Amino acid sequence: MDREIESAPKAPEPAIEETGDVGTGGDRIRCPYCKWSPAAHDRWTCDCRHSWNTFDTGGVCPKCLLQWMHTQCPNCLQWSAHSAWYPQD
Ligand SMILES: [Zn+2]
Ligand SMILES: [Zn+2]
């Protein structure tokens, strides 16, 4: 009785390829003007003087809940729509 057909679980092996091809990915938040990309430690300051990473909250100050429709780039100092920072097709 050799009906021991094992249905081996075929786990898809994640192909981890380090191509060093950074920059073509679609989900980087960037300044629409200079393409500067914010890091986790970057901070923006609200009118209420609270400072936080505005991209953590989609432009909403966690302290006073003000929705920032525009975000200033700390690199080129241009203001642009918060939504324009997110990748779009
Ligand atoms: Zn605030
Ligand atoms: Zn910029």
C-alpha of residue 17 to centroid of ligand 1, in Å: 42
Q: How far apart are the first and last CA of the chain?
A: 58
Asked if the structure places residue 13 within a domain, the reply is: no
Determine the Cα–Cα distance for residues 69 and 34; give it in Å rounded to an integer. 19
C-alpha of residue 63 to centroid of ligand 2, in Å: 25
| pLDDT tens readout for residues 14-62 | 665 555 444 445 579 999 999 999 999 999 999 999 999 999 999 999 9
**Ligand closest to the CA atom of residue 45:** 1
pTM over 0.85: no
Asked if the structure places residue 72 within a domain, the reply is: yes
Asked if the structure places residue 10 within a domain, the reply is: no
Full residue range of the structural domain in which residue 45 is found: 27-89
C-alpha of residue 37 to centroid of ligand 1, in Å: 23
Asked if the structure places residue 36 within a domain, the reply is: yes
C-alpha of residue 51 to centroid of ligand 1, in Å: 8
Number of domains in the chain: 1
